[in-house]
Chains A and B, each alone.
Chain A
Amino acid sequence: MEFSHYAPLWGEALLTILAVLVVLLGSLMKNSGKLMGYLSAAGLVAALALVASNLTIKPTLFFFDTISVDALSQFFKVVFLVVSLLVVIASMSKYTGKGADEYFALLLFATVGMMVVSSSVDIITLFVGFELASLSTYALAAFDRSKKNLEAAMKYFIFGSVASAFMLFGFSLLYGMAGSTHLVDIAAASLANFGPATLVALLFVIVGFGFKMALVPFHMWAPDTYEGAPPLVSALLAAGSKKMGFVAAFRVILIALVALRMEWYMAFAILAAVTMTLGNLAACWQNNVRRILAYSSIAQAGYIAIAFVVVGAAYGAAPVNVLNMGPIRADQLGIAGALLLILGHALMKTGAFIGTALVASNVSKESETDPDDISNYAGLAKRAPITAFCMLIFMFALAGIPPTAGYIGKFVLFSSAIYSGLVWLAVLAILNSALSLVYYLRIISYMYLKEAAGPKIKEQKGYVVALILTLLAVVWIGVFPEAFINWAMQAAAVLLPQ
């Protein structure tokens, strides 16, 4: 088989080689931080180009049908690569000294892990990818070696291990039932042979993925970890690795466990409703900006989980004429909405966490107080105008105010809920969006209406570049959403029978 057969996977290959190279070079060279940053960024851009060249590829299987490259995997790979790229760009202002090579290598490995998960159509490869990403991020979460970092990483690790155990147990049940690790075979077996064990498997799998997706009540690690980990790592966790949970859940639950549709429909209806409500309520009462953002991501995960409910309710339903786009199936629209929200949320959250990173890195030098406390954001518009403006847009986008990426995702997703008859869920989600304004506007009011808490701070180049790129992307998607909606629709089609 010739080399070019694997062209759709060159992105992963490139990043793996690069990660190994970064570790090797780092051990050989003294003071290699800057170079490693540029190298990683270049590698990520190249990988992005490779992925983009196969953006809407027909599903193609590799490695004994365990890896599938299709529109869905490409969609998620773009999300992961963009998030990693933004984090790397921002990190170039922070990790320049000793140890930077390890940081960038871990980041690249995590990215590869996430990319593998997005392509997996086999529970073994999926688990391997999952663990690759998780182990790398466990180490990253402790990277600054402060006490807070270690605590965050420890919690993340313990909680993650338990969740992995649940997931693996669920997988073993699935394997025992189907005699195969391919998702397609499991789907066929679960249709033919449905028993109590499958239900247990489903629940255990949901726990495993729910941990990564940070759905209530599997979310408890998230606020502590997002708050305690280095801020740029939090960006990767909230925007990247969390989305990995969604792609894995999409593939396993929507394809392999479609026979238990009514069960997971029920489970996700509860999880989505509880998650968004508790996430938003909890966020209102936080004073630590990163905790607010953490709870906001939990709430967003609740919105995204609506897609499962929509698919459960409207699976295979006849197309309806919606949104001026011709006849469309509500289940496909629901997944497309979730994908758009995933894309939008990945960008907005990366941007917001990069913003907090900038503030924290400039404040912590001066004072002993919590660098993420909201009081440090007072008058940020005067102290760091670019950061404050970008944060302003990200907050509006997270709240779902047009014309931003956050609005488009919510709009499509909530409409799909209405079209599939889940009006109560849509209403709850919209009420939650309104509630979320409380804490987003609180941050904005601190930044723009309060007296400055200190002198002007220097906005480092790396952070600013990453912030502005994110800002442009967020607004671009909001202003010209048509192409993105079509792309998400194509990706969504992969998960549903034609």
Chain B
Amino acid sequence: MYADYAYLIVALPVLAFLLCLFVGWHLPRGGGFLTVLATFAGLILSLGIFSEIYPDKIIHQSMPWFANFNVGILIDPLALVMLLMVTFVVTLIHIYANGYMNGDPGAARYFAEAALFTASMLGLIFADNLLQLFIFWELVGLCSYLLIGFWYRKPSAAAAAKKAFLTTRVGDVLFLAGIILLYNNLANLNLALKPGEYLLQFPVIYANLAQIAPDQLTLIALGLLGGAVGKSGQFPLHVWLPDAMEGPTTVSAMIHAATMVTAGVYLVARMFPLFYAAPYGLTAVIAVGAFTALFAATMGLTSFDIKRVLAFSTVSQLGFMMAGLGSGAAVGTLAVGVAIFHLIGHSFFKALLFLGAGSIIHAVNTNDLREMGGVGKYMKWTMYTMLIGSLSLAGFPYFTGFFSKDEVILIAYEYGALINMLPYIFLVLAAVLTAIYTFRMWFSVFTGKERSNYAKHESPWIMLGPLVILAVFAFGFGLAAQDDFYKYLDSNFEHYDLDFVELGVIGGHALEGEHGAPAVEGEQGAAAAEAGHGAAAEGEASEGEAGGEEGPGEPWYIQILPIFIALGGILIAGLFYWDRVKKFDPSQVTGDKDPIRKLLLKGYYQHEIMTGWFAETVVYGTALICNTIDIKLVDGWLNWLSALVLGFAQHVRKVQTGIVQNYVTALVLGVVVLVVVITLAKEVGLV
């Protein structure tokens, strides 16, 4: 019964958008309660749908749009968990925003845009075809532009919005190219589609993947990956994400936790069979992911802006998710479950951390870690909820982040055992750094002495409530849901007409199975690996044997390494930044002259390279040429034209009828030209 109203999940936020837009400013708090209600209704509907279709059904509704295109809703396990997560987290963020945006003159606009943002993300998730997904994908991009530039009178906000929009546009062009390529390939197959089936529907794509030429599959996969890289802030298109902090903190929380950036990961997960079948598709995914994870983590170490620390952490964690998906080359569909599990867990603790940071900024009125210190004395609730979020992010045992991140590292190890160890090493290093920068942030904010004179008060309950709820999930979700989650997501692609063994052969994965470990052959391999992991991830004693017997498995030291990573990272951060146990000062290890520190502080000179060299030399040079052409040629032509028109008008004023005569002359001339052209064409034999 809930399934019949699935469309309302998107329709209600759209309604909230319209209401806030048009009548918002007559309502208290800019009509924020409408946005909350609409999203909450989406949560209820999603839960209802969950109760109806769990564990082995999917919902697929579709109606024709026109020609080859349709509009449809596809809710399979993958989409369902995303729906639940987005509606849940965004509801909490909207509630929080009711407190945070209180008193802002643009509150109505904020809630309208936020509602549209939510609607687009939800529409993206349950789209049943790639085109519809793309349309919502673009809407998400548009809304992020509007929201990041929410305070558009602030030049930095306007610039950040533009940067986000343009950078993701680069990815979107690639994405669109991928879609067009995929469409062409499918159209060339001349499929006999049943009524109600359309070319770009996911089930149709899945069912016909095996017939597309492998090199085309790789091109398509790279195109789609380009889109995902842009949206999910992966290297080298990550530059917009840290700047996206210019919007209200709630926007950052939405972008970083629930909506927008997760869309890229979701796209790769949704098209996982294609990436799996495409030779080198998953290799590209894991390379991008693992590199981004480490790269962003190092930058997180040196930022002083609390929101930027969190932003780099998001980029890094998204790298983990991508790397997890890429490990699918070794572990099959299990990778989707692992990556999405990390995505969901991450959305809880990252939303928590961002909202916590918002609560701090709201109170102390600065973003700079160097001006905080000792905030914990005045903001107990914020401190403890943030502690839970930080522990979860650092991967402290039994917190959500522990289960999810370590699982990613483990499957990366399997990828390493089979194919290449480098991603695994990158991820382990990134995990250490994650723990360090997270607690560097936490210790500098909440402990120690006050380093500046800030306002000392706790945030109101409308803001703390969501923090507490998110903290519960950031702690308990992993422990409670892990096993069922993997099982449920692993069943995702069983609903479609897919043969992973065949796809694996196309993608060259089975080949590696023959040479390397015998177990990795499509689904069976994945299932076996999953059995090994189910045990492993619980962190119990039996994992060594289970892994040894059934899968390629991991030695015991690989299994427990993540625990030491987390503890060690926190310890290091404590030694540097917690006044009670402080043993070192950062200046003892590194000084202003240290080239590595300088490199990190400068963010790897990306700004210098991208803006200083590429933008200012290459782009600006091109722009100068264009400008010259514009001034000399276009403007010159325009000036000449306007002078002509003005002169003409002068002339017209004196001789009123002259102009009509001219017109009629043109008419006659037109006839003559037509006569000549047609006669000539006949003579030449063109017609």
Contacts and interface: CB of A to CB of B under 8 A. Distances in A.
A270 interface: yes
B663 interface: yes
B660 A154 contact: yes
Contacts of A441: none
B666 A217 contact: yes
B641 interface: yes
8 nearest interchain CB pairs?
A: A217-B670, A262-B687, A323-B67, A220-B663, A481-B66, A158-B660, A324-B68, A217-B666
Interface string B232-258: 000000000000000000000000000
Contact of A324 (B67, B670, B675): B67
B1 interface: no
Nearest to A324: B68
B597 to A, nearest CB: 43
Interface in B657-687: 659-660, 662-664, 666-667, 669-671, 673-675, 677-678, 681-682, 686-687
Contacts of B675: 199, 203
A267 B678 contact: yes
Contact of A285 (B641, B681, B682): B641
A265 B638 CA distance: 34
B666 A220 contact: yes
Nearest to A200: B675
B66 A408 contact: yes
B626 to A, nearest CB: 15
Contact of A481 (B65, B667, B677, B678): B65
A159 B666 CA distance: 11
A482 B70 CA distance: 11
Given A154-B660, A199-B675, A210-B670, 5 more contacts: A217-B673, A263-B682, A266-B686, A285-B641, A481-B65
Given A163-B667, A199-B678, A203-B674, A411 B638 contact: no
Nearest to B661: A158
A48 interface: no
Interface residues of B, number: 31
Contacts of A385: 22
A481 B641 CA distance: 42
26 contacts: A151-B656, A155-B663, A162-B664, A166-B671, A199-B675, A203-B671, A203-B675, A203-B678, A204-B671, A211-B667, A216-B670, A217-B670, A217-B673, A218-B670, A224-B659, A263-B678, A263-B682, A265-B687, A267-B677, A270-B674, A323-B68, A324-B68, A411-B66, A411-B67, A479-B65, A481-B65
A151 B669 CA distance: 24
Nearest to A449: B152
B638 A285 contact: yes
A155 B678 contact: no
A482 B66 contact: yes
Interface in B197-245: 198
A155 B673 CA distance: 23
Contacts of B105: none
A151 B678 CA distance: 35
Nearest to B152: A449
A243 to B, nearest CB: 21
A247 interface: no
Contacts of A211: 667
A379 to B, nearest CB: 15
B267 to A, nearest CB: 21
B64 interface: yes
A485 interface: yes
Most chain A Cβ neighbours within 10 Å, of B64, B638, B681: B681
A265 B678 CA distance: 10
Nearest to B659: A155
Contact of A263 (B66, B641, B671, B687): B687
A220 B669 CA distance: 13
Nearest to A206: B674
Contacts of B673: 217
A155 B638 CA distance: 26
A217 B667 contact: yes
A155 B652 CA distance: 13
A28 interface: no
A51 B89 CA distance: 54
A159 B675 CA distance: 20
Interface in A153-209: 154-155, 158-159, 162-163, 166, 199, 203-204, 206-207
Contacts of B687: 262-263, 265-266
A221 interface: yes
A204 B66 CA distance: 39
A325 interface: yes
A245 B677 CA distance: 23
Contacts of A217: 666-667, 669-670, 673
A266 B677 contact: yes
A351 B638 CA distance: 30
Contacts of A271: 674
A161 B671 CA distance: 16
Contacts of A210: 670
B198 to A, nearest CB: 7
A479 B69 CA distance: 12
B667 A159 contact: yes
Most chain A Cβ neighbours within 10 Å, of B66, B663, B670, B678: B66
Contacts of A159: 660, 663-664, 667
Interface in B629-668: 638, 641-642, 656, 659-660, 662-664, 666-667
A64 to B, nearest CB: 33
Contacts of B660: 154-155, 158-159
